[in-house]
Amino acid sequence: MCRLVAYIGKKIPLENIIVKPKNSLLEQSQEAQEAKLAVNGDGFGIAWYDGLQEPGLFKDVLPAWSDGNLPSICRLVQSGLFIAHVRASTFGMTSRENCHPFSFGNWSFAHNGGIGQFGLIRRDVENLLVDQFYDARRGCTDSELFFLLLLTNGLNCDVKNAVQTSIRQVSELARSNDALNQPIRLTCVFCDGKKIFGFRHASDNKSPTLYVSDSLDHGGRAIASEPLHGTSEKWQEISPNHLLEVSKDDIRQTLVASGEAMLVS
């Protein structure tokens, strides 16, 4: 399983989230605490925003801990909005095109989990994409394809509906192709350049973990696969089948399937 983190708040060096915490994303790349695989060494990536609509991207196929450029970049680059990811591959070779985060326009996206028996439904999922997003595909992972499906289903206009529709379509295709022997597990974080979002879903009710922080020392908030500090007191687990929306001023969790938005304390 991969590990991921997203941050929103005042502008800080990326290292404050990715490198410095006791259980930072860099630490999780070697010793993840809440994943089947402790090591996530099949590449890494960062998408960050700094005044422009589209995010900057830095991705490589090296394990995060072995890239000497990563600590330097994280020390010098500052942002108030970013996503980072370390990969343990399930589908697709180790290549920059298959490393997360993926981006399109103002959106960036990272995923932990997998679409079970993806090969049986890949062509059907591809057929759901409109040309604009089909042509944007660069890699061969289930993660990138699901991101492009979200965009096809109107992520720009209605995030909740795009998530609901995409989960339903993938689930229906899996059933119709007898591809339910392996579960669909989707724990995702994504960003539109103004807010960060996260959700968890699994067909077997065993979705990979995802947490949201209280206000951090520098005033921002983070969504992460695991709490970034030794104690989880300041971190709340995001409920399965819920969509989390975090802005600089508010945090809102909504049931993916139905229900009204409710404030999270």
- Residue 143's CATH number: 3.60.20.10
Render pLDDT for 5-26 as a digit per residue (tens, 0 to 9): 999 999 999 999 999 999 988 8
CA pair distance 135, 104, nearest whole angstrom: 11
Taking a C-beta distance cutoff of 8 angstroms, is the pair 77, 164 a contact?
A: no
Number of domain units in the chain: 1
How many residues appear in the chain? 265
- pLDDT band at residue 259 under the 50/70/90 scheme: very low
Render pLDDT for 72-126 as a digit per residue (tens, 0 to 9): 999 999 999 999 999 866 655 677 889 999 999 999 999 999 888 888 899 999 9
Taking a C-beta distance cutoff of 8 angstroms, is the pair 29, 63 a contact?
A: yes
Extract the tokens encoding 19.
Answer: 């490198």
Give φ, ψ of 233 to 5 degrees: -60, -30
What pTM does this model have? 0.91
Residue showing tokens 């790349």: 29
Range of the domain at 177: 3-263
Taking a C-beta distance cutoff of 8 angstroms, is the pair 228, 23 a contact?
A: yes
Please provide the average confidence, as pLDDT, over all residues in the chain. Answer: 88
Residue 45's closest CA among 71, 70, 75, 10?
Answer: 70
